[in-house]
Amino acid sequence: MDLNMELVEELRAALPHEGGVLTDPDLLRSYEHDEADLVPFGTPAVVVRPRTTGQVSAVLRAATRYKVPVIPQGARSGLAGGANAIDGAIVLSLVAMNEIIDIDTENRIAVVQPGVVNAQLRRAVAEKGLYYPPDPGSWEQSTIGGNVSTDAGGMCCVKYGVTSDHVIGLEVVLASGEVLTCGRRTAKGVAGYDLTSLFVGSEGTLGVITEITVRLRPAPEPSLTLVAVFDTFPAAGAAVSAIIGSGMQPSMLEVIDRVAMSAIEAYQPMDLPTGSAALLIASVDSGSQAPDDLARISAMCHQAQAADVFVATDAAEADALLAARRLAHPALEHFAAHLYPLGGGIMIDDVAVPRTRLVELIEGIERIATEHGVVVATVGHAGDGNLHPIIVIDRSDPVSLSQGQKVFDAIMSLGLSLGGTSTGEHGVGLLKRDWLAREIGPTGLKAHRSIKAALDPDNILNPGKIF
């Protein structure tokens, strides 16, 4: 029995339940990569699906002894290659650890395993009059563990913040198999280093998260929503700057450009104004103040030269607008496949800039797309200064691939030059390692590597990701 078979047998002993250890080649291929396009991936030697923290610990102890890489995975809905497998690795899938352990209504916290789907948690706490705000576009699919690992955001971030603003405690299995508990269940606490924040956004490179304690909020007031239509995309950006600069705090402020609207309309007809350059969706959940707040936002949109402003007449209409925004990713995949039948694909950027530089970012994206003759659709969380330019490419054409990469890099460079960051919410993964290095510099990289070496001295946890 060679070393690999010895390892597999040890894993089977540690995870004896059905489906705990997978070695069938067809099944292994389904765990090779996440949703990121044009980044490398390999085929794992084995996939393990633990149900308990103890089983995760056993897997990592075995992996450390055999010096075999471990790739933690959730629902594989990520967009940066952070969950991509490498040849011969153990993929550690956490989707079977999907229990909501506790919802404490008095202390307004929930304790969950990492495989709990975002939408599942939101609905469970809503039944108790509470609210878990982070809402990535993949909320019906992505897991809380994956959200924590990438510090995911979403459409409510403009008012309620990203995942890290709601995580107060973690249980983490280290590379050695030791179990670390960090954070708290209290409303406040400053004992020791903030290890919880260290693991949030670490993309599985420092430890495997097996339990998460999140802060909840009281359920918000019902939202009121409007849509503003603009003849130019920069005008929509100017409206966003005016709204945020006024001190208002909308619960959502999203933009969709013409290319994205057209793709969504072709994918699922919704009567979107595809002849317009941009759509701005704004919501407020400020209770009795909401009608006045929406009126102020409407006025600022008109001042920014909105061609028209429509107020959603009821919750169903508002939900339909939100659904349209969530369809951008699959709609553009569909659009690319039709535009380039032999190899249509998309590269998704995730650049965030100070809100005061948003118009410059929008103008720059349009200029870059025109200069390179590449189709770029832009959607994003405009209220956060976080845009997702989606670059449409033909995988079968080397020239298209090269041009797409040039556009991607030019947008990244523009974002950093405007005082921004290389990723607002998708994480670094494989896609943005070089750009992280440019953003944080040699000293920042040295600090990252020192922390990694201290917690994972054999470099078995998601090696090659982030840096």
Q: Give every residue of the chain whose pLDDT is below 50, as ranges.
A: 1-2
- pLDDT computed for residue 322 by the predictor: 87
* pLDDT tens per residue across span 28-47: 999 999 999 889 999 999 99
Domain ranges within the chain, ordered by starting residue: 3-93, 100-218, 224-417
HEC assignment per residue over the chain? CCHHHHHHHHHHHHCCCCCCEECCHHHHHCCCCCCCCCCCCCCCCEEECCCCHHHHHHHHHHHHHHCCCEEEECCCCCCCCCCCCCCCCEEEECCCCCCEEEEECCCCEEEECCCCEHHHHHHHHHCCCEECCCCCCCCCCCEHHHHHHHCCCCCCHHHHCCHHHCEEEEEEECCCCCEEEEECCCCCCCCCCCHHHHHCCCCCCCCEEEEEEEECEECCCCCEEEEEEECCHHHHHHHHHHHHHCCCCCCEEEEEEHHHHHHHHHHCCCCCCCCCCEEEEEEECCHHHHHHHHHHHHHHHHHCCEEEEEECCCHHHHHHHHHHHHCHHHHHHHHHHHHCCCCEEEEECCEECCHHHHHHHHHHHHHHHHHHCCCEEEEEEHHHCEEEEEEEEECCCHHHHHHHHHHHHHHHHHHHHCCCECCCCCCCCCCCHHHHHHHHHHHHHHHHHHHHHHHCCCCCECCCCCC
- pLDDT computed for residue 1 by the predictor: 34
* pLDDT tens per residue across span 294-330: 999 999 999 999 999 999 988 888 888 888 999 999 9
- pLDDT computed for residue 228 by the predictor: 98
CATH class label, 100-218: alpha beta
* pLDDT tens per residue across span 431-456: 999 999 999 999 999 999 999 999 99
- pLDDT computed for residue 49 by the predictor: 98
* Architecture category of domain 224-417 in CATH: 3-Layer(aba) Sandwich (3.40)
Measure the CA–CA gap between 203 and 210, rounded to whole angstroms: 13
Contact 212, 148 (CB under 8 A): yes
- pLDDT computed for residue 410 by the predictor: 98
- pLDDT computed for residue 395 by the predictor: 95
CATH 3.60.15.30 assigned to 3-93: no
Measure the CA–CA gap between 452 and 262, rounded to whole angstroms: 44
